[in-house]
Amino acid sequence: MPNGYSELSKNDLLKVIQKLESRKKYGLVWDEERTKEQFEKESENALPVLKEVKGREIITDPDKPINILIEGDNYHALSVLNYTHQGKIDVIYIDPPYNTGAKDWKYSNDYVDINDTYRHSKWLSMMSKRLRLAKNLLKDDGVLICAIDENELNRIGLLLEDLFGNCEIHCITIVHNPRGVQGNNFSYTHEYAYFVFQKGLKIVGPRKIKEDDIYWSNLRNWGGESLRTDAKNCFYPIIVEKDNIIGFGDVPEDDFHPEKQTIAKGSKHYVYPIDVKGIERKWRYARQSVEEVKDYLRTQKRNGGYEIEIGKDFGTVKTVWQDRRYDANEYGTKIVRALVPETNFDFPKSVWNTYDCIAPILYQKKNATILDFFAGSGTTAHAVMILNKEDGQEGHRKFILCTNNENEIAQKVCHPRIKKVIQGHKDYPDITGIKSNLKYYKTSFVKRTISKDTLKIRITQECTEMLCLREGIFDEKKKTADYRIFDQNGRIMAVYYSLQRAQLKVLKKDLDKMKGNKILYCFTLDPLGLDKTDFQDWQGVSLEPIPQKILDVYESIYEY
């Protein structure tokens, strides 16, 4: 509040002093309240809801989950998700604007450039507001991944420590531009990704290794304590037929000594851990455990016999990533321009960069939900679909993307890219042609009014898409003036909008004819919930009052 203290009243001055005294003495401090963002101006007299954009949905397989694309300011989208998905997100992956000073993002409807004195404060304010809302969405074992470069690396690290103080925070280096970007003193070839998750949990699984990069070594031990006598259960034959391992023999008696390393018996070959000097050694796995690694073994013909090698196609995720697949030009820009030729979107991530960030966390989570609220060109959606394709019928992960439509990025880049990944592209057959479903929404607003009852009525009338998103039920079966019924793979949701209960009996008859798990969202002005006497004979239907729980969430966010 520069040059304005002399104009303040005594009470206002006391408030300023109290606020200054309340600031923490150590940590990240910045000027948070110099200007309002555009979303704050839009929300001064309104609350956000969702509206489906008809004609933009993509349905290719009714058995697969529905993915979501939300067009609008991501703060409003996150506000909606705080009602629909609180505690339901497995992974949040974001690639926010890097604040390079090159006018790559707006604050309060103006581009922020390198000459803006409050450039970093504005960026931190923008990120802090959104991360606070996003934090509420993560499951207890959920993971936040934030891509960043050197411009805001240290500040976002401190912000994450402030917001996620009880979590593990790891910073990974990724070489994404081997050609380098020239700076004043250094040519930058890398950027970073922060991983944030609860302490004490095994969250990050193994990374997959490409076949060409697998390190193969002999299954036979060598060196110290590698003799047959060092571990008797590790001496047995591995049975090979037509160059493939078909089984494992029993551990022989101590007085049995094979005449040579590979013994042919008809079409089968029995391979023992005997080295080139004829010394009986041992396999690296005992007989009782070797079958667990069978898929990691291969045969190699040598000296008239076979050698058995082991090579795992996975390994521990390291903290520095170098792979040509992370090249943002080759696997980011070129892919996006091939899928959406008319786009001029700058600096999309390599799809494999994003894939390798989320995959080790999601390999075993076939039904996970992934959120990206800086969706850009839709790289996160593409990576999730590739994961599902690799899992075949088992892959049912779904994504939620949020992006504004600055430069028509939502309508002209993100949505067309997803559509093309689903339809397929001749130049990228391995990573397109993936059956998926998508619903497209835009944020809209309900004006606040003096009358709380009127606000409740309007929110109830406008919250249907939010309820569909919350339940994952989208297929409308019936619509009347008083209620609507939706179904999705045997799960049923009804929404009753009227304060009058006359049509409840008719709705009940409709629901009684349907089989599946049922939930009813019913309008009430009572903040304490529904009158149970209205539902005494309802069986097998869960009841949820609206809109008070929605308003409770918004009150904590907007203080309406």
Q: What is the CATH number of the domain that holds 359?
A: 3.40.50.150
Give domain status of residue 185, yes or no: yes
Q: Are residues 458 and 425 in the same domain?
A: no
Give whole-number Cα distances, 118 to 2, 100, 102, in Å: 13, 13, 15
Q: Is residue 497 part of a domain?
A: yes
547 with 427, same domain?
Answer: no
In a domain, 10, yes or no: no
> Is position 553 within any domain?
yes
Shared domain for 307 and 337, answered yes or no, is: no
Residues 429 and 532 grouped into a single domain: no
Are residue 186 and residue 53 in the same domain, yes or no?
Answer: yes
Can you tell me the distance from the alpha carbon of 316 to that of 205, in angstroms, rounded to the nearest whole number?
A: 7
Q: Is residue 33 part of a domain?
A: no
Provide the 3-class DSSP secondary structure of residue 161.
helix
Angle, in degrees to the nearest 10, between helices 74-84 and 464-471: 60
Query: Distances in Å between the alpha carbon of 354 and those of 91, 326, 400?
Result: 12, 9, 15
Please state whether the predicted TM-score (pTM) of the whole model is above 0.75: yes
Same domain, 384 and 487: no
User: Could you say which of 420, 443, 466 is where a domain stops?
Assistant: 443
3 within some domain:
no
Show which of 409, 443, 477 is a domain's final residue. 443
Residue from 483, 442, 498 nearest 465 by CA? 442
Residue 236 lies in a domain: yes
Tokens of 18: 């109290």
Domain shared by 139 and 196, yes or no: yes
The amino acid occupying position 301 is K
Beta bridge partners of 544: 521
Q: What is the pLDDT of residue 2?
A: 46
Distances 468 to 83, 245, 384, 444 between C-alpha atoms, Å: 12, 51, 22, 16
Please give the biggest Cα pair distance in the chain: 101
> Would you state the structure tokens that stand for residue 311, as one six-digit string?
């090579």
- Say if residue 411 is in the same domain as residue 372: yes
Do residues 196 and 345 both lie within one domain?
Answer: yes
**CA distance linking residue 372 with residue 132, whole number of Å:** 15
Same domain, 80 and 220: no
User: DSSP states of 7-76 as a string?
Assistant: GS-HHHHHHHHHHHHHS-SSS------SS--HHHHHTTTEEEEEEE-TT--B-S-TTSPEEEEEES-HHH
70-87 burial, b if ≥16 CB within 10 A, otherwise e?
bbbbbbbbbbbbbbbbee
Bridge-based pairing state of the strands 517-523 and 541-546: parallel
> In this structure, what CATH number is given to the domain that contains residue 549?
3.40.1350
Contact between 49 and 82 (Cβ < 8 Å): no
Pick the closest to residue 325 from 275, 280, 383 (CA basis). 383
Q: What is the dihedral of CA 111, 357, 436, 484, to 10 degrees?
A: -70
CA–CA separation, 442 and 373 (whole Å): 14
Q: Give me the residues of the chain with pLDDT under 70, please.
A: 1-4, 22-27, 32-35, 560
| Together in a domain, 73 and 204 | yes
The residue range of the domain holding 227 is 215-312
Pairing between strand 398-403 and 66-71?
parallel
Contact 373, 134 (CB under 8 A): yes
For 52, the token pair is 């489906």
Number of domains observed in the structure of the chain: 3
* Cα dihedral: 29, 33, 36, 41 (round 10): 120
Do 168 and 196 fall within a single domain? yes
Which residue type occupies 373? Answer: F
SS3 assignment, position 471 = helix
Give the pLDDT confidence of 170-218 residue by residue, as tens digits: 999 999 998 888 777 899 999 999 999 999 999 999 888 878 888 899 9
What strand order describes the sheet that includes 217-218? 217-218, 305-310, 297-302
> Which pLDDT belongs to residue 34?
62
Of 425, 443, 461, at which residue does a domain stop? 443
Terminal C-alpha separation, the chain: 25
At 45 the pLDDT is 83
CA distance 50 to 443: 5
* 349 part of a folded domain: yes
Strands 238-241 and 268-271, bridge-based pairing? antiparallel
